[in-house]
A and B are shown apart, each in its own frame.
Chain A
C-alpha cells in the first residue's frame, strides 16, 4: 500500500507506464493476478540493511551513483575498502526507486561486505534477481544494482590512482628541493 501510494504520486510518467502495464506496483493484497512483491523484497523494504552514507572524500570510500530520476531509479552504493588487503569492510546504500530497486541495492551491499574488490565485480544482476524472485519488468533494477557495485569499485580505484599521482608529485618536488 505504501509503495503503491508513493508510486502514483511521484513516479515519472515513463515509469508509471512501465509499472502500470505490468500491474506490479499493485497492492500485494489486490485482486486479480495476485501478483505481489516477493517476501524477500518486502523484507528488505521493511527491515532495511546498510542504509546510510559514508564521507565522499574519505580515500577509503568508493561511491557508485547510477540511474536517473527520470527513469524512476537512482542508486548510490558506497564501499569502504581496507587499503592493505583490498577487502570491502563496509558498504551502505541509498536508493530512490521502487521496492525492487531498494531491495536489489540492499542485497548488493550485503553481498559485497567482506569480499575482495575483484570478487564483487563478478556479482551478476541475474543472481540478485533470482535471490529476490524479481518479475521480468524488474530485472532492470537488479542490473542497476550490479552497475552500482561496479561504479563504486571503479570510483575507489580512480580515487586511489589520483591520490597516488599526487603522492608522486610531492615526492618529485621533495627530490627537486633536496
Chain B
C-alpha cells in the first residue's frame, strides 16, 4: 500500500498527512491515469479559465478543436456554452429568473399558509422547504451558464438558457424550469401556483 496513490476530494496532500490515504493533486491524477485525450475531453467540456485555475503547470488551451476522434472517452453532455452566452448576460438572466421565482414563491407561501413552508435565499441559492414533502434547491452554475435544480419529485436537473423560447430548458427532457416548478409545486402543495 506504500505506493497507493489516491485522489479524493479537493484537498492538497499536505492537509492530509495526519490521517488520510496519500492524496495527489489533480494534475498528477490526470497525468498518471489518463491519456492526453482524456485531458482533452475534460477540457473540452470545461473551457479555458477554470481548468487553468487548477493546473497552473499545464498549458491547456481551449480544446473545442480537438476532434472527438482523437479521444475514445465520450465527451460529457454539458458542452461549454460560455462562448454562446456571455457571462454578464447569463448572470442577468439567471438572477432575474431566480429573483422572480423567489418573489412569486413568497407570495404563494403567504397565500396558502402551508405547514413547514419556508423559503430562503442566501448566497444566491434559493431553498424552498415544503415540510415533510421535501426541499427544492435552485442555484446558478455560472461556469456552465446553467441553473441547477434539485427537486424532491424529479431529482436533479440542469437548465440551459434557450434564447428562442426565452426560457431555461433541461435538454434531456425539454422541460422548462418555471413550468416544471409550477407543475410540481402545485401538485405537491395541492394548490396551483403561477411562477412566471
- Interface of chain B, main secondary structure: mixed
Query: Of the candidates B15, B34, B123, B136, which one forms a contact with A65 in the assembled complex, judged by CB atoms under 8 Å apart?
Result: B34
| Contact in complex: B137, A136 (CB < 8 Å) | yes
Count of interface residues, chain B, beta-carbon cutoff 8 Å: 56
Which residues of the other chain, A, contact B47 by a CB distance below 8 angstroms?
68, 70
Q: How far is the CB of B52 from chain A (nearest CB, A)?
A: 10
Q: Which one of A6, A67, A70, A96 has the greatest number of beta carbons of chain B within 10 Å?
A: A70
Task: Decide if B165 is an interface residue (CB 8 Å cutoff).
Answer: no
Cα distance, A150 to B80, chains bound together (Å): 21
| Contact in complex: A140, B150 (CB < 8 Å) | yes
Quick check: which of A112-120, A151-159, A164-172 contacts chain B, the rest being far away? Answer: A151-159
Query: Of the candidates A12, A51, A71, A139, which one forms a contact with B53 in the assembled complex, judged by CB atoms under 8 Å apart?
Result: A12
Which residues of the other chain, A, contact B156 by a CB distance below 8 angstroms?
125, 139-140, 142-143
Q: How far is the CB of B63 from chain A (nearest CB, A)?
A: 12
| Contact in complex: B155, A70 (CB < 8 Å) | no
Cα distance, A70 to B47, chains bound together (Å): 8
Q: Contacts A5-B11, A97-B10, A139-B150 given: A71-B144 contact, CB under 8 Å?
A: yes
Task: Decide if A11 is an interface residue (CB 8 Å cutoff).
Answer: yes
Query: Of the candidates A5, A10, A154, which one forms a contact with B54 in the assembled complex, judged by CB atoms under 8 Å apart?
Result: A10
Task: Decide if B169 is an interface residue (CB 8 Å cutoff).
Answer: no
Task: Decide if B26 is an interface residue (CB 8 Å cutoff).
Answer: yes
Task: Decide if A28 is an interface residue (CB 8 Å cutoff).
Answer: no
